[in-house]
Amino acid sequence: MNRLNGKVAIVTGAGRGIGAAIARAFAAEGAALVLAELDGASAEATAREIAQAQPGARTLAVPTDVTQATSVQAAVAAAERAFGPVDVLVNNAGINVFADPLTMTDDDWRRCFAVDLDGVWNGCRAVLPGMVERRAGSIVNIASTHAFQIIPGCFPYPVAKHGVIGLTRALGIEYAPKNVRVNAIAPGYIETQLTHDWWNAQPDPEAARRATLELPPMKRIGRPEEVAMTAVFLASDEAPFINASCITIDGGRTALHHE
């Protein structure tokens, strides 16, 4: 549909799940795309899948560790060499770290924040100078409904995701005069491999799956493609006045009053 035609985009964590869905959607909409992924093999596989489905799509897989600022800067440089200045960044890479606060190790705390918050900042910091200079750009940060609803047993993940929302709003306001937009998406339950892994780790996987499907008012969970199309919208010229905002994709779950 060419909604991103002429734009150069980077998607972190693009090898699987929501990141891969965003990569596929961006390529389908005409973006030249860098898949920045710690697991280089999965990024290559997604790039091949895109090439098969969309002949002529411009993709480049770049092994990237979002916890390392130099690695993210190298991915941005690779994008610029291959396709030109970066118009869009999607900070999607993330990990789940769920622990008891009083028994959690320092390493778990640092690992959670290194990926889920520092990784987002590393991406923003790498693309912002060019976007500010050109007075154009869109950054989309993948947050979570954990950013505003606390579920017991999930510490410290929601702390990091609260930080992502704060970072999104602060940078969105800071660079609004330069026509650089920074927004977030907060997915709820989305059917990814991580979700299936969690179901399968429960004593009764089928019962866990049914219970999850009952939570949203729509009585289903989301699909990665539904998150991806919202990312396309925020990255496109269709959202020029949306800034420092967060769009929730959870089927109404967080709006539901619980007795």
- Please, are residues 250 and 226 in contact by the beta-carbon 8 Å criterion? no
Give the active site residue among 83, 157, 189, 199: 157
- Predicted pLDDT at 212: 94
Residues 6+ apart with CB under 8 A from 155: 98, 99, 100, 101, 104
The pLDDT of residue 193 is 87
3-class DSSP state of 196? helix
pLDDT at 194 over 90: no
CB 122 within 8 A of CB 69: yes
214-248 pLDDT, tens digit each: 999 999 999 999 999 999 999 999 999 999 999 99
Is-catalytic flag, 157?
A: yes
Distance between CA atoms of 100 and 109, rounded to whole angstroms?
11
- Asked whether 235 and 90 are in contact (CB, 8 A), the reply is yes
CA distances from 148 to 4, 90, 171 (A): 30, 21, 19
**Nearest to 33, CA basis, from 52, 18, 14, 17:** 14
Q: What's the whole-number mean pLDDT along residues 211-216? A: 93
SS3 232: helix
Instruction: Round to whole Å and give the CA distance between 214 and 250.
Output: 12
Instruction: For each of the domains in the chain, give its residue range(s) and CATH number, in order of start.
Output: 8-187+223-248 (3.40.50.720), 193-221 (no CATH)
For residue 259, is pLDDT > 70? no
What CA–CA distance (Å, rounded) separates 255 from 259?
Answer: 13
| Max CA distance (Å), the chain | 55
Length of the chain: 259
Question: Which residue bears the tokens 């493609």?
Answer: 225
CA end-to-end span of the chain = 44
